[in-house]
Amino acid sequence: MIVRGLISEYDAIKIKKEKKKVKVTSDVIRGKSWQGVVKKKVGAVPVQTAAETTSSDQTVQYPVEVEIKGKKPEAKPGFKMIMEIETDKRQAQTIPETAVKKKRLMDNTFMLFEKMY
């Protein structure tokens, strides 16, 4: 199954090659998600919409195609799908949310050390 959509010019420059991972969801089919990949490079020419011809505040959008892998959604042609394209992956150190406590407009973080000496 192929899902076609439009992405902003800002997102278009982040997707430099095919095969970027994509998570697809839908407001209509709640609680389910599907995995896919960008099928081919983002279109080189932006799409012109009817709103652009009458408005001076134009948003530039580029076409993108995503191929859904594995089980296909129970979607019908025309359903609106939400595509989350993985553009950058980074390693980050995190702490559990339970370690952060709010006290009088300030966030405090508690750290537990086994031995300091």
pLDDT, tens digit, 9 for 90 and up, residues 12-32: 888 877 788 989 998 888 888
Residue with more model confidence, 51 or 107: 107
Domain containing 15 equals 2-92
- Where do runs of H (alpha helix) occur along the chain? 9-12, 50-54
Average pLDDT, integer, range 80-101: 82
Give the integer Cα–Cα distance in Å for 113 and 100. Answer: 16
pLDDT above 80 for 94: yes
DSSP, collapsed to helix, strand or coil, labels residue 72 as: coil
Q: How many folded domains does the chain comprise?
A: 1
> What pLDDT is recorded for position 35?
92
Give the integer Cα–Cα distance in Å for 115 and 5. Answer: 54
- The answer to which of 14-18, 35-39, 74-78 has the lowest mean pLDDT is 14-18
Within-domain flag for 43: yes
Within-domain flag for 27: yes
Give the integer Cα–Cα distance in Å for 25 and 44. Answer: 26
Within-domain flag for 117: no
Tokens, residue 87: 């553009």
